[in-house]
Amino acid sequence: KQEVTQIPAALSVPEGENLVLNCSFTDSAIYNLQWFRQDPGKGLTSLLLIQSSQREQTSGRLNASLDKSSGRSTLYIAASQPGDSATYLCAVRGGGATNKLIFGTGTLLAVQP
Amino acid sequence: DADVTQTPRNRITKTGKRIMLECSQTKGHDRMYWYRQDPGLGLRLIYYSFDVKDINKGEISDGYSVSRQAQAKFSLSLESAIPNQTALYFCATSDPQSGNTIYFGEGSWLTVV
């Protein structure tokens, strides 16, 4: 059974710092991996999607990497801003017949001005 | 207008009552999902539908039922609500033709008292 873990559960950094959020998964047979942002009481906004054949994806100050063999993904946020404060979730989609999206429990990020 | 719309956004109901959460989407996607989110447990899949005639149970379907009335509409019902069904419920859609990025609604807060 696929399990997705995100460490740390919470992170507080000063504004301007570069930071890395971690996501690990137990079954490397994935179809893709997606990073989301969730603001309090809101839905999830997709940030980046990495297909299983890709190693990384970039969008603005965000860079996500994927290492299937080790079951890891990282989300790198450059020059963090208070507006980046949110919960970040990763989710892996299984390959083949399962094709289900399994979520981690998220990392709550607070960027201090 | 949002691509994925959930109604109601907030509801308080009593134990034993039947409640329906509705979801409609304008993205034209065949695949639709219902998740619930609980603190510390992340998002868990309740039901998913790959088209109008294809409905499948997710991880935690007990106590829930769904109806796919049309490609654009997917409703979730709690036949007899109980307090441990108090959670934030999300509807989502995806399209395998576009990399299977998943799009979420804003969520429906349900409190069972």
Mean residue pLDDT across chain A: 92
CB contact under 8 A, A101 and B99: no
Query: Residue A42: its pLDDT value, please?
Result: 82
Query: Residue B39: its pLDDT value, please?
Result: 80
Query: Residue A96: its pLDDT value, please?
Result: 61
Query: Residue A95: its pLDDT value, please?
Result: 67
Q: Which residue has the tokens 């490397």?
A: A28
Q: Which residue has the tokens 């989300």?
A: A75
Query: Residue A108: its pLDDT value, please?
Result: 95
List the single range of A10-19, A40-49, A68-77, B69-78 with lowest mean pLDDT.
A40-49
Q: Which of B24, B17, B14, B45 has the alpha carbon at shortest distance from B105?
A: B24
Kindly give the parts of chain B with pLDDT less than 50: none
Residue A85: pLDDT above 60? yes
CB contact under 8 A, A105 and B103: no
Query: Residue B9: its pLDDT value, please?
Result: 94
User: Exposed (0-12), middle (13-18) or buried (19+): which is B69, by Cβ within 10 Å?
Assistant: exposed
Tens of pLDDT, residues A28-37: 989 899 999 9
Confidence of residue A2 (pLDDT cuts 50, 70, 90): confident
**Tokens, residue B105:** 């609604």
Residue A97: pLDDT above 60? no
Residue A56: pLDDT above 90? yes
Residue A5: pLDDT above 70? yes
Contacts of residue A98, Cβ cutoff 8 Å, sequence gap at least 6: none
Chain A contact for B90, CB < 8 A?
yes
d(CA A51, CA B91): 23
Chain A contact for B99, CB < 8 A?
yes
CB contact under 8 A, B99 and A51: yes
